Amino acid sequence: MQPQTKKPRPAEREAVGINSQSNYSTHDPLSEVTSRLKGVIKRHNGGILAFCPSHDDRKGRSLAVNVGREGQAILHCFAGCSVHEITQAIGLNPADLFPRTESKYDPQTRSFFNEWQILSALQHDATVVLIAARWMLSGHALPESDIDFLSKAVIRINEAISYSRRFK
C-alpha cells in the first residue's frame, strides 16, 4: 500500500489590490491602469493606446496612457473624456494614478539666498531709484507709473533687508 501523498495546496494569496498595505511600496500606477483597460497596444514612443472605458470606443483606440516625470500614470482621451470619468469607469480614483511612497511627507531641504544673490536681485531696483532721484533733483516730476514702481522697489529692498537680518 502506497503512502498517501498530500496534494499541494495553492499558496494563500495575500490581498494585493490597489489599496492593500502589502502592495504599498511596489504600486505601479501604469500597470494598475493598463490591467483594467481593453485593447491595449504599445506605441513606438513607449506609451500605450487603449479603448476608452468611459465612452463607446468603436472606431479606434482613443485613450493614450503614459508615465509622467514623477512616475504617475497620465491619461488622455482624444474624444474628450476627463480623467475623473476614465478612472471612475475602471474602478479607480485619480489618486491611484500616482505612485505611493513609504512616507507620508518627504521634507525638502531649504536653501537660502546668500548676500550676493540678494544684491544681484536688487541691482535693477537700486538703479531705478538712483535714476528717479536724479530726475527729481533736476526739478522734474515723476509719472504715476514710475512712482508705483518706486514704491514696489522700496518694499522689495526692505524685504531683502529683513530677510538678510534673519541669518545674522
pLDDT in tens, 36-77: 999 999 988 888 999 999 988 878 899 999 998 888 999 999
Q: What digits encode the pLDDT tens for the residues 1-19?
A: 454 444 443 333 333 344 4
Q: What digits encode the pLDDT tens for the residues 56-65?
A: 887 889 999 9
Q: What is the pLDDT of residue 102?
A: 67
Q: What is the pLDDT of residue 160?
A: 85
The three cell numbers locating residue 141: 516730476
